[in-house]
Structure 1
């Protein structure tokens, strides 16, 4: 009992320390954003006259409304299409009896080992040759392809655990493969699909590297990608830069707070299924 009590307290202390380390950068950004514009705050000192107007100014000068629109268009271009392709591929690889599916699955697993940084140069020239450079399609199409290895692996982990008897019963009732997929398995896969949708949304919204390399116009990028241009323009105004950074982080934080249970379930599902 004493050992268990000590372990419980040790876990709580470590959890508090981890939470403190995680929240400290956000607290520092928030406190710094409230200092007068053009100053160089030191430490976590609370300003005597908090400048809440820094957030309004950062929203205006960074043209956040247009960045929100651009990020939303990119997310709408990436997430639905990636979900459809990954769900169909995961169903085929994980549940159907098709020749060569194990080779295809290994190819997707190999794709998990390829970092974005390692393919950014050839990707740049390919996008340029396609005539898509400096457009939102330069972000949307590569992200769909780059997300496929994980997305197919995720959906395959769900379909491979579905009982074969379920499909056999549907076939006896006259269902073809298409009806079996859409009417039987997709409704049952909605927890896995919705969890994957949250992850793809967060990864797309926070995409930085592809946005700054493939798109020159900040208003055509994601909000995170536009942060580079905002930093270049207002890098000497630390409070304004911190206010802009917090505004860019706000949508992601809101999505996480709203869907935090689903987000945790997504991580647990990915760790338990295989």
Structure 2
């Protein structure tokens, strides 16, 4: 049983860590609201107009649309393929899976810088550079290894007796997946969606290589250009950064319970 001293110490550590995490965020928000270009905090005169100015100067409207299309398409593809591959490797069993699955996991170990140049020339040859579709395909391909590993672990955590009982009742593989296993693994799926959304939305390197047309660039590229043009205007740079980060923050706030539950359930056992 935890003593009163240990409980007090735990609360003190949690409060201290929370302050360390929250303070930079609050400072960043207040810098975005500063009327001074240096970002000097002034609580008596909050300049909400900085967000409007940053939005207009950075042309974030088309960029946010591009990021939304790319992210939604990539996350949808990653999630569907992750569920199917996780079910195949974790429940059905695939011929040669002891060889195939480690090969798929190599995608988690190989850095994108290794294959980015040949991949660019391949996509350029088939006309998929400077297109949202090309970037969506790349993001899906890079997200499948983790998704397959994640959903395989989630499905393997389900008692095998449940699957066997469904088979005895006459349920086929497709029904077992979507009506039995999927509802049980829903927290893991939510977590996968949130992680995939965050990684895809925040991507800068792949977008920089494959999207050269300013009219098609996602929000991260637009933010990079905006910060390069307004280096001395700290308040506008902070406002622009918050605009780009807002979708991820909102998604996490609304689905944080599912995220935490999915992380815990996915970490219990392989």
Same-fold call, TM > 0.5? yes
Partner residue of 1:20?
19
Q: Given the superposition, is the C-alpha separation of residues 266 and 180 from structure 1 closer, same or farther in structure 2, using an over 3 Å criterion?
A: closer
Residue 142 of structure 1 and its aligned partner are, at CA, apart by 1.0
| Match 1:213 to one of 209, 221, 234 | 209
1:140 and 2:136 aligned: yes
State the alpha-carbon separation in 2 of the partners of residues 172 and 36 from structure 1: 69
Q: Which moved more, 1:21-30 or 1:165-174?
A: 165-174
Assess if the C-alpha contact under 8 Å between 1:33 and 1:239 holds in 2: yes
Mapping of residues 39-118 of structure 1, within 5 Å:
39-42=37-40, 45-46=41-42, 48-118=44-114
State the alpha-carbon separation in 1 of the partners of residues 259 and 137 from structure 2: 25
Residue 218 of structure 1 and its aligned partner are, at CA, apart by 4.3
Mapping of residues 162-177 of structure 1, within 5 Å:
162-177=158-173
Normalised to the residue count of structure 2, the TM-score between the two structures is 0.88
Q: 1:216 aligns to what SS in structure 2?
A: coil
Assess if the C-alpha contact under 8 Å between 2:59 and 2:222 holds in 1: no
State the alpha-carbon separation in 2 of the partners of residues 40 and 181 from structure 1: 55
State the alpha-carbon separation in 2 of the partners of residues 200 and 248 from structure 1: 16
Partner residue of 2:30?
31
1:250 and 2:249 aligned: no
Q: Which runs of 5+ in 2 are unaligned?
A: none
Q: 1:124 aligns to what SS in structure 2?
A: helix
Normalised to the residue count of structure 1, the TM-score between the two structures is 0.87
RMSD: 2.3
Partner residue of 1:121?
117
State the alpha-carbon separation in 1 of the partners of residues 137 and 64 from structure 2: 19
| Match 2:182 to one of 182, 186, 191 | 186
Q: 2:109 aligns to what SS in structure 1?
A: coil
Residue 201 of structure 1 and its aligned partner are, at CA, apart by 1.5
Residue 163 of structure 1 and its aligned partner are, at CA, apart by 3.2
State the alpha-carbon separation in 2 of the partners of residues 190 and 35 from structure 1: 42
State the alpha-carbon separation in 1 of the partners of residues 7 and 217 from structure 2: 46
1:235 and 2:234 aligned: no
Q: Given the superposition, is the C-alpha separation of residues 91 and 221 from structure 1 closer, same or farther in structure 2, using an over 3 Å criterion?
A: same
State the alpha-carbon separation in 1 of the partners of residues 267 and 165 from structure 2: 30
Residue 118 of structure 1 and its aligned partner are, at CA, apart by 3.7
Q: Map Cα deviations across residues 103-137 of structure 1 (whole Å, 9 max, x no partner).
A: 22222333222233443333333332332111112
State the alpha-carbon separation in 2 of the partners of residues 207 and 55 from structure 1: 22
Q: Map Cα deviations across residues 55-95 of structure 1 (whole Å, 9 max, x no partner).
A: 11112222233223212211221111111111111111111
Assess if the C-alpha contact under 8 Å between 1:218 and 1:229 holds in 2: no
Residue 47 of structure 1 and its aligned partner are, at CA, apart by 5.7
Aligned residues: 270
Assess if the C-alpha contact under 8 Å between 1:35 and 1:50 holds in 2: yes
